[in-house]
Structure 1
Amino acid sequence: MTAPHSPGASTPPGDQDAPALSIAVVAALPQTAPPLVEALRALGHRVPVVIGHRRPADWPGHVLGEHDLPPGVDLAVPSRTEAVAGLLHAYAVDVAVSYGYPRKLPAAAVSAPRLGTVNCHPSDLPSYRGPNPVGWAVRNGEDRIGVTWHRMDAELDTGSVLARTTIALDDQVWSFTGVNSRVLEAASEMLPQVLRRLVRGDEGEPQPQREDTWAGFFTEDYATVDWSAQATHIHTQVRAWNIAGHHPRVQGPVAVIDGTRWRLRRTTLTQPPLGTGRRVTCGTGDLWVLAADPLD
């Protein structure tokens, strides 16, 4: 996939890739930090440190550990986000590259690297700002999502754009991990362009001013499955929740089957092989539950 240049971001004749830089990666998950480190090192840059995040008490998976990183890359896990600025200053990095970090970085951290901090967001900003962009894209029936690199500023997902592209969001993708691999591939291909613009002092393009672009966590109003709804609606609801991943406060999608509460993991609108799944008649059409976790 070749990512299109943003308007005004064409490479002048003779302009080469960015010189070797010292770059900190700010990412909390083993699915995100190692591929970014690998992509940056493949471009000839040095990654002295990855800044991770402490595992929340209710987190169901595992967070990034030192064994996930290659030799020569430190892992720093600050107890609070206010400490991130000090870490970036201590490592004296040129750039910080953020991807999916679960906390808002303070302004002091964003401005600590010599050339600033950039973030990759899986939407076509300013659409779907916030912590759940892909979940909302699925919920709204999108078949493509954006991938945007932007400068970080004091707010969330509002900084000027350095590079963007779009990728397919087909109905075969059912998990954060599945989406993440595609987003990272597209994001990595845009990194040379992003770093060139930083080195040139290019501020990027300001995002258009738009209202109602926030993509927050799903709430209770979308957490319960109503079997009287259309089968397609329920199928989308299940996929949206599973792509959204872990929710810190609300569990979904929850359905009652034969008097038992289940969290639905996978459904299909087409009849699976004999003996596979559980058919449920919905308001319009049938849905087959392929995977679910009991809650009672």
Structure 2
Amino acid sequence: MTAQPAGRDTAALRIAVIAALPQTAPPLVEALRALGHHVPVVVGYRRPADWPGHVLGEHDLPPGVDLALPSRPESVAALLHAYAPDAAVSYGYPRKLPAAALSAPRLGTVNCHPSDLPSYRGPNPVGWAVRNGEREIGVTWHRMDAHLDTGAVLARTTIPLDDTMWSFTGVNTRVLQAASPLLPQVLRQLAQGDPGEPQPRREATWAGFFTDDYATVDWSADATHIHTQVRAWNIAGHHPRLQGPVAVIDGTRWKLRRTTLQQPPPGTGRRITCGTGNLWVLAADPLDAA
């Protein structure tokens, strides 16, 4: 389905945003308010004990927008009923929402997924796209149903996945820059009761979290493979159970953050001779206690 430009021709709606990060919720709130809609609440996510960065706080949201932090997904339905939204818009929420929550808004719940569905369903679509050497990724707005990333498609587009994209935050920014202009079309379809188009009948693929087999750097491998491994892990973002990519340098374990295949300026980076070619480590975090 090719997205067509849509004007602000949908009557003002009450729309709940479901998003857990400061890089995702505020841009969605801003985009919806710019279209004349009212956002009464953002449903966020409580900070896990092992979460390494900033999570969404009330100071990230504009005045008049409440922040709700349910203790469990089963609480989301009651929260949404209390705010009585016409629709809910989700992006990057880290837990599967129960059917009662998805059906609480009068017009339903939609999600933005950073892949060309049904390819790369799951929590780590861009990480797997990098790992597989993709040069672009899809951006798909779809209705949410009982299963993860299987709902009918309302709009889609693509964005380049070039070598300048290195961080989870950076990917989210570019995805939302592409997804936000599609919101008028998506909301108009919701208001009109458009069920959307079933996902294409090509084979679906699953993009789960990386596992142990991809977590350790093998310096005897090809330098390009290792470089891709580092980039894929950093774009994938926080893993709830596993550190990666972990490499041993001079007997110390490091979590690699940035590498390059091109020799950097003198005094920059650490050169590693790999099985095929050289790789320069530009940034890494030590994992072993001093």
- Common fold: TM-score over 0.5: yes
- 1:157 aligned partner: 149
Distance in 2 (CA, whole Å) between partners of 1:20 and 1:155 is: 29
Q: Quick check: 1:217 aligned with 2:209?
A: yes
- 2:222 aligned partner: 230
Show structure 2 runs of 5+ residues with no match: none
Distance in 2 (CA, whole Å) between partners of 1:246 and 1:202 is: 36
Q: Could you say what the CA RMSD is over the residues aligned between the two structures, in angstroms?
A: 1.4
- 1:126 aligned partner: 118
1:210-259 per-residue CA deviation (whole Å, 9 max, x = no partner) reads 44511000000000101111100000000000000100111100111111
- 1:52 aligned partner: 44
- Note if contact 2:118-2:203 (Cα within 8 Å) is conserved in structure 1: no
Cα gap change, 1:38 to 1:10, in 2 (>3 Å): closer
Instruction: Indicate the percent of aligned positions where both proteins have the same amino acid.
Output: 84
Instruction: Report the TM-score, using the length of structure 1 for normalisation.
Output: 0.95
- 1:76 aligned partner: 68
**What pairs with 1:176-191 in structure 2 (closer than 5 Å)?**
176-191=168-183
- Note if contact 2:118-2:204 (Cα within 8 Å) is conserved in structure 1: no
Pick one of 85, 100, 103 that aligns with 2:77: 85
Pick one of 280, 284, 290 that aligns with 1:288: 280
Distance in 2 (CA, whole Å) between partners of 1:10 and 1:24 is: 23
2:70 is aligned with what amino acid? P
- Note if contact 2:19-2:92 (Cα within 8 Å) is conserved in structure 1: yes
- 1:24 aligned partner: 16
Give the aligned length: 288
- 1:244 aligned partner: 236
**Deviation for aligned residue 1:172:** 0.8
Distance in 2 (CA, whole Å) between partners of 1:132 and 1:10 is: 29
- Note if contact 2:16-2:41 (Cα within 8 Å) is conserved in structure 1: yes
Instruction: Report the TM-score, using the length of structure 2 for normalisation.
Output: 0.97
Q: Quick check: 1:192 aligned with 2:192?
A: no
SS at match of 2:127: helix
1:184 is aligned with what amino acid? L
Distance in 2 (CA, whole Å) between partners of 1:201 and 1:120 is: 18
- Note if contact 2:8-2:184 (Cα within 8 Å) is conserved in structure 1: no
SS at match of 2:100: helix
**Deviation for aligned residue 1:77:** 0.6
2:90 is aligned with what amino acid? S
1:43-63 per-residue CA deviation (whole Å, 9 max, x = no partner) reads 000000000011111000121
**Deviation for aligned residue 1:208:** 2.3
Q: Quick check: 1:96 aligned with 2:88?
A: yes
**Deviation for aligned residue 1:10:** 8.7
